[in-house]
């Protein structure tokens, strides 16, 4: 038996944030019926390359364990089909522009079902920000993430994936599961609302709290950490390596391995606060030593001593690392190898039942 066996989700979502959430719930056993526009489907079906046997890998990445039904919500007949689907669903998930589902008579209030869990995801909420476009890159910009990412104040950089969408999808899962637990106890459903902007502000954790608690407005620091040193990328003979030294004991061990034990007692570097204050000088000294050997050499020597470090891998090497650690990072459905769900449950493990649906199904 799966954790969410018997839960039916009417999935009106598309693109990334909400489809990621519904895929995660599908992995946990829920029946997910994805509603798509006739003839076109989810926009991400056309977002390629890359492709797998003619299908966009973007779409495939977030739509397994779902079936698909084509419904034209612009017609009365289509809206009737949608209401029939919702009538047998426990959960509705949608991420249309705010007001769209209300126009169709399919919003939480119009449906009038006291036992329904209804999740709405938007870019900037359903109030004054309802008309703003909820694209991940835009939210990274206006939400402050790009202001702390990149080498300097005039070179803002987005993350390499649509991270805000993924974080919002995960928060949506938490909200939906909490609402289902409440319904189990009381019989009552509820409206679950999320927006990308406040999810991002929450997910910036220490950077956000530094502002709300101390009025500190963080600036971009490249690969450095605002509160820990050495905690950044360093050069070696062959490829970059990350050092993530979190305490003074680890720093002393690092200095010993690099044959510069005197750094551990240097007044500039004795404590973490000292090292943060003098991070430029520390970087130059450590870089000279680290350039004497390849990244793998340092990884193999420092790791057994409890000094956190590792080479900057590409995605292929990252998957290889996970495989070498027996973490099973992939899942196979038929001839398709997808990224595995990282949640491991001892009694109700995730399952991979359905490949991402083709539009004609």
- Using DSSP bridges, classify how beta strands 31-36 and 51-52 pair: parallel, antiparallel or unpaired: unpaired
Structure tokens at 127: 């109030």
Sheet containing strand 190-195, strands side by side: 66-70, 31-36, 8-12, 91-94, 117-122, 190-195
User: What sign does the CA torsion over 136, 139, 143, 145 have?
Assistant: positive
Q: Which residues are the active-site residues?
A: 165
Would you say how long the chain is, in residues?
A: 361
Angle at 354 between CA 329 and CA 356, to 5 degrees: 80
CB-count exposure of residue 118 (10 Å: 0-12, 13-18, 19+): buried
Contact 169, 24 (CB under 8 A): yes
Is cis: bond before 296, omega within 30 of 0?
Answer: no
Q: Which residues contact 196 (CB under 8 A, 6 or more apart)?
A: 17, 121, 122, 123, 124, 134, 136, 139, 143, 164, 165, 168
Q: Which residue has the tokens 């650690």?
A: 325
Q: Residues 5, 28: contact at Cβ < 8 Å?
A: no
Q: Count CA atoms closer than 13 A to 268's CA, side-chain side.
A: 10
For 146, which DSSP code?
G
């Amino acid at each position: 038996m799966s954790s969410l066996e018997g839960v039916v989700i009417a999935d009106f979502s598309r693109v990334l944030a909400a489809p990621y959430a519904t895929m995660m719930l599908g992995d946990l056993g829920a029946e997910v019926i994805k509603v798509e526009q006739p003839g076109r489907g989810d926009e991400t079906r056309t977002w390629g390359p890359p492709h797998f046997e003619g299908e966009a890998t973007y779409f495939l990445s977030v739509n397994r364990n779902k079936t698909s039904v084509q419904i034209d919500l612009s017609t009365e007949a289509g809206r009737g089909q949608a209401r029939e689907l919702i009538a047998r669903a426990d959960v509705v998930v949608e991420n249309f522009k705010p007001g769209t589902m209300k126009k169709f008579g399919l919003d939480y209030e119009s449906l009038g079902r006291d036992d329904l869990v209804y999740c709405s995801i938007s870019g900037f909420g359903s109030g004054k920000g309802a008309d703003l476009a909820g694209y991940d890159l835009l939210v990274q910009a206006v939400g402050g993430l790009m202001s702390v990412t990149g080498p300097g104040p005039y070179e803002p950089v987005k993350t390499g994936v649509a991270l805000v969408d993924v974080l919002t999808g995960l928060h949506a899962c938490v909200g939906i599961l909490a609402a289902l637990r409440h319904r189990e106890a009381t019989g009552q459903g509820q409206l679950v609302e999320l927006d990308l902007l406040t999810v991002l502000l929450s997910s910036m954790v220490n950077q956000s709290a530094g502002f709300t608690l101390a009025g500190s407005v963080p600036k971009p620091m490249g690969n450095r950490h605002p509160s820990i040193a050495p905690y950044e990328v360093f050069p070696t003979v062959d490829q970059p390596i990350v050092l993530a030294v979190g305490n003074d004991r680890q720093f002393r061990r690092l200095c010993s391995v690099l044959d510069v034990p005197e750094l551990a007692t240097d007044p500039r570097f004795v404590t973490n606060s000292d090292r943060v204050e003098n991070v430029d000088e520390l970087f130059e000294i450590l870089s000279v030593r680290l350039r004497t050997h390849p990244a793998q050499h340092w990884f193999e020597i420092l790791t057994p001593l409890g000094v956190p470090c590792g080479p900057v891998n590409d995605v292929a090497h990252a998957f290889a690392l996970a495989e070498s650690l027996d973490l099973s990072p992939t899942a196979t459905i038929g001839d398709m190898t997808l990224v595995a769900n990282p949640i491991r449950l001892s009694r109700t493990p995730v399952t991979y039942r359905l490949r991402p649906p083709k539009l004609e199904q």
